[in-house]
Each structure stands twice: as C-alpha cells, then as structure tokens.
Structure 1
Amino acid sequence: MQRLEIDEIDLPDVNNQLAVVEYITDLYNFYKQQQHVRRPMDYMEKQAEINVRLRATAIKWTIAAHFKLGLSRETLYLAVYIIDRYLTLVYVDDFMEVLCFQHTEESIIRMEKAILNKLEWYLTVPTAFMFLVRFVKAAKANKKLENMIYFYGELGLMEYTLIRYCPCMVAAAAVYAANCTLRKSSLWTDTLQRHTSYSESDVL
C-alpha cells in the first residue's frame, strides 16, 4: 500500500491563538456539511427577465464595486451567494431596471430589507472563499499561485453553471486550474486530497 505524503499545514500556526488550530479540522468538517444547507438552486428557467448573460453582467459589476470599495474577498463571495439565493426564491420582473444602477438611498435600503427578510437573515453560510483560504494553504501556494487560485475563484462567480456544484468543489477546482495554468509539477497532492476530500479525478 502506497504511503500518503500529507503535510502538516497547520504546524506553523500552532502558537497562533487566532488560527484555532485545535478546532480547525472540526470547523472545516462542519463547513462541508453546512454548505449543502440553503444552497442556491438552478433558477434561470423561472426567471423570465434574467438570463445567464445578464447575471454575469451583474456579478461583474459586483466584483468591480468590491475592488473599488476595498472590501474583503469574503464579502464578495457572500454578496454573490445572496444574489443567487434571492433569485432562487423570488421571481424578479424588473432586473433590467436594477442593472441601471440609478437608485436612491431609500430604495437601496428598502430592497436590502426585502432581501434579508426573504432570506430570513440567514447569512452565515460557507462560501467557496472559506474553502479557498484553506486550500491555498494546503497547496503550499506562493504569491503567484495564490493570486491565480483567487482569480479562478472570482472567475467562477460569474459562471452560472457552477451553481450546481457545492462551494468546496468549486474551490478545489480553482486550485487545480491554477496548478494547471502555472504548469506545476504536481497538479494534485495527497495533502490537497486530504483537505479538499476530492481526488484528482473528482475535480477534472
């Protein structure tokens, strides 16, 4: 039986209390379970005023606004989750009007309340970003690889077809795609398989 070569990726953080190393495995096991709860579902067929292209435009604008405002990546992924989850639950007949981006502060607050109420204020969800953070570490990524992984992660936000896959799988695929792009000698390691729970064939 071949011996697995799994790196102890949390060893450098063992003295960092903020890294909660003693709980990190349980935490990510919990994330993997919870990622299936209240996931956005395929909603495009029931949305007459929305298509894949319009959604991509909205997400592209969201990404641009995120960078302009200097927000965290976690906020970006949560924003896209909220958009998709809301559109899963509600029929929207004025999406083109929304994309005009001409809104008053009052209308924005009113819409924000409507969205939060429809989502029942359930916003604590494992997004692909949470898994990307962990998998970047498991990939032992240098800055170039890390940036490429996050690039593919953000590219995936605009790709509607990825809604059918769980966030953990999307994050794992971003790591694999980045390794392929940078022509890494090892595209998928035992360490990545351990922490993602996917084999190389799973992410192909």
Structure 2
Amino acid sequence: MADEEIVAVTEYVEDMMAFHKRTEIACNIPSYYHVGRAVLIDEVVESHNDIGFFPETLYRTVDLIDRFLAVQELDQYELELVGMSALFIAAKYEEIRDHSSKMYQLSETAYSVKQVVEMEWIILDTLKFDLWHPTPYVFMKSFLKVAQSNKKVEHMSFFIL
C-alpha cells in the first residue's frame, strides 16, 4: 500500500461525508444577517490575506461570525470587533503556525488585546464552545478531489464559493 493511500484512508470517505451532511443540516443558521455583514466579511478577507492564513481559517471565521450574529444583536463598532475576534479563534483552531504577533499588530490599531480576548470569550460562550461545523470548504475540497480538477478549476471554485 502506498503512503498516499494510507494518508487518504479512502474506505472512510463515504462515512465522513455522511457525517458532514448530517452535521450541516443540524446546524443550519437563519437566513437573516446583520446589515454590516458584507462589509465585515470584506474586512475579514483582507485581514486573512494580509496575515497569510490557510483557506480553512477564512471559512471557519465566516461560520463563527454567521452563527454568532444569528443569536446576538450588535452595533457597528462591536461588529468589527466580532470579525477580528472570530478570525483569531479560527486561526487558533485551524492554523499550524503561530501568527499571534501579526494578528495583534493588525488589531492593535482599533482594539486592545483585552477587548479582543473578551470578545473571543463572548463568542465562544454564546456558541457553547462548539467550533466544529462543516464549512463549504469541506464539501468543495471533496468534490474537487473526486472530479480530479486542476489548479485553475480549484481556484475558480473557491473564488465563487
């Protein structure tokens, strides 16, 4: 058996996708969003790119923001803080490398470290520390692998997603 096959563990793919689908259905969020959500997501994408995070971190961040906004009412000032704090939480969950110095440099112009940490706690408490939900990234990555797509198709798919 080749090393690639050992890492892929293909016999579990169907079970894993079934689990992702069940979990996705169980954690649907309401379709209403905060008025400033689009601007917030643009800012999060820019920060995500400036720091150089993995794509998974961006999808996890948007998931955290959406789930939090579905149950919490905020003003515009707090909304930006939620975006930054959700990005920090997602980075701690998804990233391998420590980017904390870059992250705090990015946030220190608008918020103190204390404010970011307090908002992280509020988000985590509101979401009952339930950080894992399948994001669109999980499904797209699986589909692209099955489709044996090239890099151009992969980049376009994630751009549209």
TM > 0.5 fold call:
yes
5+ long unaligned stretches in structure 1 = 1-12, 45-49, 154-204
Query: Equivalent of 1:39, from 21, 28, 32?
Result: 28
Alignment match, 2:8: 19
Moved more, 22-31 or 108-117: 22-31
5+ long unaligned stretches in structure 2 = 82-106
Alignment match, 1:190: none
1:100-126 deviation per Cα after TM superposition (whole angstroms, max 9, x unaligned): 871100000000000000000001111
Q: Percent identity?
A: 32
Paired with 1:80 and 1:106, the residues of 2 have a C-alpha distance of 22
Larger Rg: 1
- Cα root mean square deviation, aligned: 1.9
Paired with 2:150 and 2:116, the residues of 1 have a C-alpha distance of 40
Alignment match, 2:61: 79
Paired with 2:118 and 2:137, the residues of 1 have a C-alpha distance of 28
Please say if residues 59 and 135 of structure 2, whose CA atoms lie closer than 8 Å, have aligned partners that are also in contact: yes
User: What's the offset of the Cα at 1:87?
Assistant: 0.6
Matched, 1:103 2:83: no
Alignment match, 1:61: 43
Paired with 2:22 and 2:53, the residues of 1 have a C-alpha distance of 27
Alignment match, 2:102: none
Query: Equivalent of 1:143, from 151, 155, 161?
Result: 151
Moved more, 131-140 or 74-83: 131-140
Alignment match, 1:112: 120
2:11 is paired with a residue whose SS is coil
Paired with 1:152 and 1:140, the residues of 2 have a C-alpha distance of 18
User: What's the offset of the Cα at 1:42?
Assistant: 2.3
Query: Equivalent of 2:131, from 119, 123, 129?
Result: 123
TM-score of the superposed pair, with normalisation by structure 1: 0.60
Paired with 2:127 and 2:25, the residues of 1 have a C-alpha distance of 15
1:177-192 pair list within 5 angstroms: none
Residue type at the aligned position of 2:76: F
Paired with 2:17 and 2:151, the residues of 1 have a C-alpha distance of 23
1:157-196 pair list within 5 angstroms: none
1:97 to 1:114, Cα distance in 2 relative to 1, 3 A? closer
Residue type at the aligned position of 2:135: T
Please say if residues 63 and 76 of structure 1, whose CA atoms lie closer than 8 Å, have aligned partners that are also in contact: yes
